[in-house]
Amino acid sequence: MKANVTIHRDFTISPVDDRLYSSFLEHLGRAIYTGIYEPGHPTADADGFRGDVIELVRALDTPYVRYPGGNFVSAYNWEDGVGPREDRPTRLDLAWRTRDSNHIGVNEFADWCKKAGTKPMLAVNLGSRGLDAARNFLEYCNHPGGSYWSDLRRKHGWKEPHNVKLWCLGNEMDGPWQVGHKTADEYGRLANETAKAMRLFDKSLELIVCGSSHAGMPTFPDWEATVLDHTYEAIDHLSLHMYFGNEEHDTLNYLAKAEKLDRYIMSVAGVIDYVKSKKRSKKNVTISFDEWNVWYHSHEQDKKILEGDDWPDAPHLLEDIYNFEDVLQVGGVLNTFIRRADRVKIACIAQLVNVIAPIMTETGGPAWKQTIYYPFLYASLYGRGTAMRAIVDGPTYDSAFGDDVPFLDTSVVRSSAGNALTFFIVNRHLTETLDLTARLDGFPAARVVEHIQMSHPDLAAVNSAATPNNVVPKTVSGSTVEAGVLTSRLPPLSYNVIRLS
């Protein structure tokens, strides 16, 4: 099977915003407690943060981590997580039916971010609370001193402000499961007034308003139109979420779900353009895809806790164990974001540690990389710069989510400095090798630096604490550039990173 790709030095899509490789940590299951924070763990530092986890996060170079939720934030009192630990209340978390000691709050999270080489992206509670709690939280976090809330932070031991620039105005407010769920009009008005108040404090903040929780929501896409009608001039980004699963055990349909993602992004981009025109606005609102990942492996086992009355502390929740097939899906999702880099400026893999996460830990034991760690790592390392327009001429298939799905799924990024060019490619074909020919117009000196590949005879293969290297990338040979043409052979069901310079 053959596929031809053409790229041209001058045919670009858009700069890729580094924030496309952001992530998310929620007070949920073992994400915070025994995920990033486990006093007494052999690798824990003086603050109780796991050093092994910090090392794995640092390697990902994820620019922002969204916090503290998620559904959790919609009934969260941020004040519970600040001040002396011994005075912090243990609360019931209504979203995940667990208890939270509040031993980690915004100050500790900001410290952890510094250690992990990332920055906080915070969410305010617009479910059970509103404008007042949001503006106080902002003042507590960002004001240097000399006011009630900033002086309280200083008294708590954090003299310097956290200077958080990215703020989410609530979470999934279209969802009936959300504490404080609202209609689009109710939420739109509240979000607009909250945004206005937050901007009165600091005009330079970037504010993110809630779009739909997923493309199947009955209120989609009217929700976006109404919410943006209220908020267009006050906010910067519209938040979208989407999770992927292969409940049907149908690989081709599973991998075609990236097409659904693409349609979702483009429909929402259309709604943004519509509201922009309606308002005769000069402003561009972009998309913050601040929750995405594969999420389905753990659904069954989670029912016991989510439907029970035990209210456990930091239980095993949403602990999807990812397989090799999920590498292909995550690779395809990242390709979609890169191809839509003109509309999507922020994206957060949900989540980062233990909870639907690329990094897993054993309480008291090791931390390891799940299979999906790798495509996220390579996109973050080599997917920064400018997204190139790639014209693909190759075989396609029809799926439940759309026809003409290309077997060869690719995105191409040119680095900002130098001439590095990286092809991220998933061969979705179940049985056939793809013979790739890529014409590189305007890159006369290009040569292959490295071809990284992930393939595995077993789609269900996973990594674990005992076998952390079962599904890992390898460097392969055989890709060459001659006379400005890249040729490569891509095995069936493989993920590939071909780096040129």
Q: Enumerate the active-site residues.
A: 172, 291
Tell me which H or E stretch contains 13: strand 12-16
Q: Are 477 and 431 in contact (CB under 8 A)?
A: no
**305 belongs to the binding site for ligand AHR (CB under 6 A):** no
Q: For ligand AHR, which residue of 18, 52, 139, 291 counts as binding (CB under 6 A)?
A: 291
Handedness of CA 209, 214, 217, 220 (dihedral sign): positive
Applying CB under 6 A, the site for ligand AHR has a residue count of: 11
Q: Which two tokens stand for residue 435?
A: 């013979």
Min dist. Cβ of residue 222 to ligand AHR (A): 20
Answer for the pair 500, 448: CB distance below 8 angstroms, yes or no: yes
The smaller minimum CB distance to ligand AHR, of residues 75 and 377, is found at 75
DSSP structural state of residue 323: B
Closest approach of Cβ 462 to ligand AHR, in Å?
20
Q: How far is the CB of 318 from ligand AHR (least distance, A)?
A: 6
Alpha-carbon gap, residue 114 to 111, rounded angstroms = 5
Nearer to ligand AHR, 315 or 473 (CB): 315
Tell me the per-residue interface mask from 197 to 226 with ligand AHR, x by CB under 6 A, - otherwise: ----------------x-------------
Site string for ligand AHR, 241-270 (x = CB under 6 A): x-----------------------------
DSSP 254-298: HHTHHHHHHHHHHHHHHHHHHHHHHTT--PPPEEEEEEEEE--TT
433/420 Cα distance (integer angstroms): 26
Least gap, CB of 485 to ligand AHR (angstroms): 43
334: tokens are 């990242």
Buried b (16+ CB within 10 A) or exposed e, 107-144: bbbbebbeebebbbbbbbbbbebbbebbbbbbbbbbbe
Identify which of 484, 491, 362, 477 has the alpha carbon closest to the alpha carbon of residue 435: 491
Q: In this complex, which beta carbon is closest to ligand AHR, that of residue 31 or of residue 134?
A: 31
* Residue with smaller CB distance to ligand AHR, 237 or 384: 237
- Nearest distance from C-beta of residue 335 to ligand AHR, angstroms: 22
Q: Does 100 bind ligand AHR (CB under 6 A)?
A: no
Q: Which is nearer to ligand AHR, 179 or 405 (CB)?
A: 179
When asked if residue 26 is in the footprint of ligand AHR (CB under 6 A), the reply is: yes
For ligand AHR, the binding residues in 45-84 under the rule CB under 6 A are 69-71
111 touches 67 (CB < 8 A): no
Which residues, 112 to 141, sit near ligand AHR by CB under 6 A?
none
Q: Out of 98, 142, 150, 171, point to the residue binding ligand AHR (CB under 6 A).
A: 171
Count CB-CB contacts under 10 A for residue 441: 12
Which DSSP helix (H) or strand (E) runs through 369?
strand 367-369
DSSP string, 393-407: E--EEEETTEEEEES
- Choice between 354 and 380, CB closer to ligand AHR: 354
Tokens of 118: 């990332």
Asked if residue 476 binds ligand AHR (CB under 6 A), the reply is no
Determine if 239 is a binding residue for ligand AHR (CB under 6 A).
no
We find the least distance from the C-beta atom of residue 124 to ligand AHR, in angstroms, to be 14
Query: Nearest to ligand AHR by Cβ — which residue?
Result: 70
Q: Does residue 409 touch ligand AHR according to CB under 6 A?
A: no
User: Cβ closer to ligand AHR: 69 or 375?
Assistant: 69
What residue type is assigned to position 1 of the chain?
M
172 is a site residue for ligand AHR (CB under 6 A): yes
**Contact letters for ligand AHR, residues 348-367 (x by CB under 6 A):** --xx----------------
Closest approach, Cβ 351 to ligand AHR, in A, equals: 6
In this structure, the dihedral spanned by the alpha carbons of residues 185, 188, 194 and 199, taken in order and rounded to 10 degrees, is -140
User: What b/e string do you get for 92-105 counting C-beta neighbours within 10 Å, with b at 16 or more?
Assistant: ebebbbbbbbbbbb
The distance of closest approach from Cβ of residue 26 to ligand AHR in the complex, given in angstroms and rounded to an integer, is: 5
Where does this chain bind ligand AHR (CB under 6 A)? 26, 69-71, 171-172, 213, 241, 291, 350-351
